[in-house]
């Protein structure tokens, strides 16, 4: 969940601290959302923290605290899409599944599509189904990811020739920046109205989007709290 749209270097330190704060699914499920978001602070895309919190509660309720291994059950959890579900199956349970992310795209496109552009994932899927056969799931996907990361350092990123490649939008001046500032203020007990001028034009939109995501709730006309 932490690695979604976030570099490994940013995740490493937070990952260790987060697991110290919430060492089990039960501890995470019983924590307040404010505590979870406080621990998540600095990673960005804060809705992922809420999704993880919601997922922990569902896992406690429906699976007795044990993370399910079935793809069909994983994708029903909040914030878990096709890639995350397959990644959990591969890395947590060592089950054979197909992963397609930026480093794997780079590895496969570099090896099998040296001149092609606009390479669609369905073309990679067919190849990966063949390549994955009889492999040790964890080691095989670790190797693909590491090789892809090496290729990206060695030459121009082959994943840019994917039909699914998109540059991440700038953080400075973004709605994400305003959302993050609001949540930092709320989780530290500060009044967020002082942020209005700093994020003029984005403050109202950020509040509305956080309310839609059910991360914050309006306490009264001029104040909000973590949901």
- The predicted structure's pLDDT at residue 167: 77
- The per-residue pLDDT for 88 is 97
**Contact 75/85 with Cβ under 8 angstroms?**
yes
pTM value? 0.86
pLDDT (0 to 100) of residue 19: 96
**pLDDT score at 219:** 85
CATH number of 8-93: 1.10.340.30
Break the chain into its structural domains and give their ranges. Answer: 8-93, 102-161, 175-226
How much is the pLDDT for 55? 98
Secondary structure string (H, E, C) spanning the chain? CCCCCCCHHHHHHHHHHHHHHCCCHHHHHHCCHHHHHHHHCCCCCCHHHHHHHHHHHHHHHHHCCCCCCCHHHHCCCCCCCHHHHHHHHHHHHCCCCCCCCHHHHHHHHHHHCCCCCCECHHHHHHHHHHHHCCCCHHHHHHHHHHHHHHHHHHCCCHHHHECCCCCCCCCCCCHHHHHHHHHHHHHCCCCHHHHCCCCCCCHHHHHHHHHHCCCEEEEECCEEEEC
pLDDT, residue 5, reads 84
What residues of the chain score a pLDDT lower than 50? none
């Amino acid at each position: 969940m932490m690695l979604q749209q976030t570099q490994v270097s940013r995740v490493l330190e937070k990952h260790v601290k987060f697991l110290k704060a919430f060492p089990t699914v039960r501890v995470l499920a019983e924590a307040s959302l404010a505590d979870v978001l406080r621990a998540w602070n600095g990673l960005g895309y804060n809705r992922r923290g809420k999704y993880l919190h919601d997922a922990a509660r569902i896992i406690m309720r429906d699976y007795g605290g044990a993370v399910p291994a079935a793809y069909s059950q994983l994708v029903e959890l909040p914030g878990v899409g096709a890639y995350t579900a397959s990644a959990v199956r591969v890395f947590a349970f060592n089950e054979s599944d197909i992963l397609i992310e930026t480093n794997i795209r780079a590895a496969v496109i570099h090896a099998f599509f040296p001149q092609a552009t606009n390479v669609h994932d369905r073309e990679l899927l067919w190849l990966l189904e063949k390549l994955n056969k009889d492999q040790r799931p964890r080691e095989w996907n670790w190797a693909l990811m590491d090789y892809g990361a090496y290729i990206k350092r060695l030459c121009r990123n082959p994943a840019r020739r994917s039909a699914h490649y998109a540059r991440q939008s700038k953080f400075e001046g973004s709605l994400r920046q305003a959302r993050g500032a609001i949540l930092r203020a709320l989780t530290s007990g500060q009044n967020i109205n002082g942020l209005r001028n700093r994020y003029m034009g984005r403050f109202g939109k950020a509040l509305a989007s956080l309310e839609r995501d059910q991360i914050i709730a309006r306490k009264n006309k001029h104040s909000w709290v973590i949901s």
